[in-house]
Structure 1
Amino acid sequence: MSDKNSNKLVVIALAVTCATVAGGMFYQSHQTQKRMDELAQTVQSATSPERLRASIETTLADIRAREADQERQALFEGYEAASDSLEGRKAGQHIYGSTRARFTLVEFADTQCGYCKRFHETPKQIVDASGGTVNWEYKNMPILSPTSQVQAHALECVSEVKGNQAFWVMLDQLYKHPGQDADLNGLATRLGAGPSAFKQCMTERRHMDKLQQSVALAKSNGANGTPATFVVDNKTGQRILIGGAQPMETYLSVMRRLQMQDEEGAKDPKATGALQPSAVTQGTAG
């Protein structure tokens, strides 16, 4: 194995350990004073009660709109790698990271699954540290409860209405704040999805067939529980199923092994045998 290729996945683990997260702080007192100044200016410039009322309502609406936009930006922060572009992916396919990545972590999961929640940050950390070598595809597998199906369908609807990035942010919010399932419409609106379009998608249950196909695809490939993650080598089509919420090193080790098999096979085609295309990446996007 060449030094460049053999060390690539080792560096990922090291990069995750050493990475630091930078972020700005929101100073509430400053923002409150700014809003009060705006209202004071509105009152001073009004010449009649009617104009005053209209001006205050307009100012408050502008303030609320700016606050909603700031909240949306904060929610989306950290998910820049989830592109809304369809280049390299199908409509409705949920991919985080470069679509040209050598490896894909295809995860089948249920938002009501505690192990899925615990595992959720692991593939993201791998992708973020991989330098484009690894991406992550999420497929809904709602098998635990009716709530699982409702949340999975909401994820598909927000993806349809607002895009791939909104899908990933909603997924993150559902794992971090389980109680938000009571107001999925509100959450979708906070993410910028048109409330009417989202509600119509939910009412029509237009993605239920897709969810059923996703569950069937997982089971037909040997995944009967969640989370189930297929490590797919997009160069060779070879894949390995890893069940449960395993440590990061488990997935990195599998990718190193697939890479070594490919390099050994290039030297001696009989060493690894014929490699079959991955069914999990060819199936229905979910």
Structure 2
Amino acid sequence: MKGNQLLISMLSIISIGLIVFNIYFYSELSSLQAAHESSSKTHLSHHDIIQAVDDRLASLKKRNAKAVLSRLEEQFQLANETTPDNRLIYGNPNAKITLQEYGDIECPYCRKMHGVIKQVVHHSQGVINWEFKHFPLGIHNPVAAVEGQAIECIKASYNNRIAWIALDKFMMDTRGNGQGINDVPEYVRSFGLNGSLIGNCLASDDHQDKINQDYQDGQRLGISATPAVRIIDNTNAKTYLLGGYKTSEQLLQAIQRITWGG
């Protein structure tokens, strides 16, 4: 009985959605036809009407995506628009502690730890910041490297805050393990970015040197898997390297170890 009620409710919602769309579609047709008749006293061709409606719908979709980006920016105020040395930093750039993560967007454990690090930074009241370094694993390439490049393209084309929004969304929406996100330029359009701009940047191979440099830096530290977090005390340059997924409690214990010797 409950299943039937659920089905009826779903069908009702779908029907209402179709009715709303039809009302919008036909109102667009009517307004376009009226505007044309008032100016030229001639009728639009069927093709012209459909094209005009498609343009209106595309414009509406673009406005909605811009609204999504505006709401996301409000949620990422901890990420400054600019950062020292153009680093990918979330949180106070002058924080006492830096959690320098070497991550792979395609890595499921990086995805799991992404929210953990973010929570630690949010609760630190400016004491801890988070720097993301690209470490695309061979088993996840070429997708992981391309996604890392896309983040750097977004940072260069927009700013650090928008790059963090994109990094967060990529982490959450990728299918993972090298499967990636279908059509990156179209995907970034969904949250208000210029897909053509990012697509051209990817095609030009810009920022590949940055990805390679991050990867080589990680290798010199002895990193071979992700996630890996290098905890840096910026007051005395002491560091501590953690490998693998860690809980917020484990991260805080490690921070105490290098700051207070606990």
TM-score scaled to structure 2, two decimals? Answer: 0.75
Q: What's the CA shift for 1:85?
A: 2.2
Matched residue SS, 2:66: helix
1:150-171: per-residue Cα shift (whole Å, max 9, x none)? Answer: 2111111122112212222222
Matched residue SS, 2:186: helix
Superposition pairs of residues 63-102 of structure 1, within 5 angstroms: 63-86=60-83, 89-91=84-86, 93-102=87-96
Q: Distance in 2 between matches of 1:209 and 1:114?
A: 25
Q: Is the CA contact (8 Å cut-off) linking 1:106 and 1:139 kept in structure 2?
A: yes
Residue in 1 aligned with 2:219? 219
Q: Distance in 1 between matches of 2:60 and 2:108?
A: 38
Residue in structure 1 matching 2:116, options 119, 122, 135: 122
Q: Distance in 2 between matches of 1:154 and 1:209?
A: 13
Q: Distance in 1 between matches of 2:32 and 2:203?
A: 44
Q: Is the CA contact (8 Å cut-off) linking 2:66 and 2:191 kept in structure 1?
A: no
Superposition pairs of residues 251-262 of structure 1, within 5 angstroms: 251-261=251-261
Q: What's the CA shift for 1:43?
A: 6.0
Q: Is the CA contact (8 Å cut-off) linking 1:83 and 1:96 kept in structure 2?
A: yes
Q: Is the CA contact (8 Å cut-off) linking 2:65 and 2:191 kept in structure 1?
A: no
Residue in structure 1 matching 2:133, options 133, 139, 142: 139
Q: Distance in 2 between matches of 1:189 and 1:64?
A: 9
Q: Distance in 2 between matches of 1:142 and 1:58?
A: 39
Q: Is the CA contact (8 Å cut-off) linking 2:67 and 2:192 kept in structure 1?
A: no
Q: Distance in 1 between matches of 2:54 and 2:191?
A: 24
Matched residue SS, 1:120: helix
Superposition pairs of residues 25-64 of structure 1, within 5 angstroms: 36=24, 39=28, 42=31, 46=35, 47=38, 48=41, 49-50=43-44, 60=57, 62-64=59-61
Q: Is the CA contact (8 Å cut-off) linking 1:105 and 1:231 kept in structure 2?
A: yes
Instruction: Give the AA of the match of 1:68.
Output: A
Matched residue SS, 2:130: strand
Q: Distance in 1 between matches of 2:65 and 2:196?
A: 18
Q: Is the CA contact (8 Å cut-off) linking 2:153 and 2:202 kept in structure 1?
A: yes
Instruction: Give the AA of the match of 2:118.
Output: K
1:119-170: per-residue Cα shift (whole Å, max 9, x none)? Answer: 1101100111111111100001012322111211111112211221222222
Residue in 2 aligned with 1:204? 204
Residue in structure 2 matching 1:103, options 93, 97, 104: 97
Matched residue SS, 1:169: helix
Q: How many residues align?
A: 229
Instruction: Give the AA of the match of 1:150.
Output: V
Matched residue SS, 2:76: coil
Residue in 1 aligned with 2:234? 234
- The change in CA–CA distance for 1:66 and 1:240 in structure 2 (over 3 A counts) is same
Q: Which runs of 5+ in 1 are unaligned?
A: 1-27, 265-286
Instruction: Give the AA of the match of 1:83.
Output: N
- The change in CA–CA distance for 1:38 and 1:239 in structure 2 (over 3 A counts) is farther
Q: Distance in 1 between matches of 2:186 and 2:220?
A: 36
- The change in CA–CA distance for 1:255 and 1:38 in structure 2 (over 3 A counts) is farther
Residue in 2 aligned with 1:274? none
The percent identity for this pair of structures is 26
Q: Is the CA contact (8 Å cut-off) linking 2:185 and 2:196 kept in structure 1?
A: no
Q: What's the CA shift for 1:181?
A: 1.8
- The change in CA–CA distance for 1:112 and 1:56 in structure 2 (over 3 A counts) is closer
Q: Are 1:157 and 2:176 counterparts?
A: no
Instruction: Give the AA of the match of 2:236.
Output: T
Q: Distance in 1 between matches of 2:65 and 2:197?
A: 19
Q: Distance in 2 between matches of 1:64 and 1:150?
A: 26
Q: Which runs of 5+ in 2 are unaligned?
A: 1-15
